Amino acid sequence: MSKRDTERFEPRSRKVKILATTGPASRDPEMLRKLFKAGADAFRVNMSHGEHATHANTIEAIRALEKEFNRPITILADLQGPKLRVGTFREGQAVIRHSGHFTLDRNPEPGDETRVELPHPELFGLLEKGQRLLINDGKIRLKVLEASDDAILCTAEVGGVISDRKGVNVPDAEIPIPALTDKDRRDLAFAVQQGVDWIGLSFVQRPDDLAEARRLMGGGVRQGAPALCAKIEKPMAVRRLAEIMELADGIMVARGDLGVELEPQEVPPFQKKIVNLARTAGKPVIVATQMLESMIESPAPTRAEVSDVANAVYDGADAVMLSAETAAGDWPEEAVTIMDKIAQHVERDESFLERVRFHDTPPDATTADALSHACMTIADTVPISAITVFTGSGSTARRVARERPSVPMLVLTPSMKTARRVGLLWGAHAVATKDIGSFEEMIAKGKRMALRHGFGQAGSKLIALAGVPFGTPGSTNLLHVVTLTGQELDKRES
């Protein structure tokens, strides 16, 4: 570990988390360090690009940052998912006329301005008249006139240049292909072996997609597997969102492909719906894609992009994500810095808590939920510096985060896996520490950790939330308010 920087890591002053994508512009250890110091709480490793050896080096560099700053850092490995693509063209590309006819067929011969191969047999016989095919991120829009087992005749609502192996989106049908390709299975096995904290599952259409991923991962988080984040990119997933939400550990609003398959004006309401449903379920929700897109090339964002990030924070998203801005852009550190500034400024708005709680998240009829809700109420009534949550699996921390309390949450856990995993939760600052065995030990440790990590000073009040008997999952049943004396740091045990 580098000795050149021995400064103590101060807790973030904001509650929403920043997820930064690694790539050619940011995978260097020094740049990763800069991004972390600028405000990145978690890192996304995009399995669509790069070799396993490269990703392994990136993950190793992030784990080195953990040791340097003594702070758990979350890593999300994002799987590519199935990609539908057209075949090739005789001249590498062709022009589809506006309002002209164009055929997608099963003939492997290179295409021209009238036809091209669609090497996905599962689509033939599935599509019906009137359904849409979107090519090259929706730049070309086709409508089906006739569909058979061998050919799909379309009319071009929007024509243009089409070239080899451009992507195809089918927004109006549930495609009978699994969310995991052979490549995804290899990437998933690699990610699990590397000990990443979250898996991002792309192009989820149905609950079965999540069940298959769970099987390959060896179970859920209680079995030691990474947490599973369902990326909502298909209209079909939005229609089955409640079922998908039940099986996922977290949700990503992946606005890139979702924005291709939906009309532009439909995306904002869907984004808010997804965020609200995830919050109601008490599961972290990430808003992603094109948040500061202009900063791929520019050192400053547009005012519209600033508003976009701010609205996601006002909506109560757990995390906001940077994609190409940090993976391949010219200004990765600046992008993180500006996103951090936007989030901090929004959270200082005197109306922020009122707006972030506009969506009601009533507690379930359980003791754990009632106590989590009480944490929020107490923090609104009494001057509280932090809520200390003792948890083994992270479920208590999720319940507290769902309430969007006005003070930060210090999550104390004996599991490093849990400490890393809760890094995407709103307001959570995780510390991996030794387990506790008694009420007295819990209170003493909570005080000591709060002082050590900057969550209070002499005279500050803390809320302690835990379950008795200790070490029993799902037993949250104890809430206690304590006052710091300032003498707790005399004991050096961690």
pLDDT in tens, 24-51: 999 999 999 999 999 999 999 999 999 9
Q: What is the pLDDT of residue 178?
A: 87
Q: What is the pLDDT of residue 494?
A: 47
Structural domain 367-490, CATH architecture: 3-Layer(aba) Sandwich (3.40)
Structural domain 93-169, CATH architecture: Beta Barrel (2.40)
The residue extents of the domains of the chain are 17-81+178-347, 93-169, 367-490
Q: What is the pLDDT of residue 491?
A: 54
pLDDT in tens, 364-397: 889 989 999 999 999 999 999 999 999 999 999 9
Is-catalytic flag, 289? yes
Q: What is the pLDDT of residue 357?
A: 93
| Annotated active-site residue in 85, 185, 341, 461 | 85
Q: What is the pLDDT of residue 256?
A: 86
| Annotated active-site residue in 21, 58, 289, 388 | 289
Q: What is the pLDDT of residue 6?
A: 41
Residues of the chain falling short of pLDDT 50: 1-7, 492-494
The residues that bridge with 50 in the sheet, in sequence order, are none
Q: What is the pLDDT of residue 4?
A: 41
| Annotated active-site residue in 14, 15, 17, 44 | 44
Is-catalytic flag, 231? yes
| Annotated active-site residue in 231, 255, 399, 448 | 231
**Fold of the CATH domain 17-81+178-347:** TIM Barrel (3.20.20)
Is-catalytic flag, 44? yes
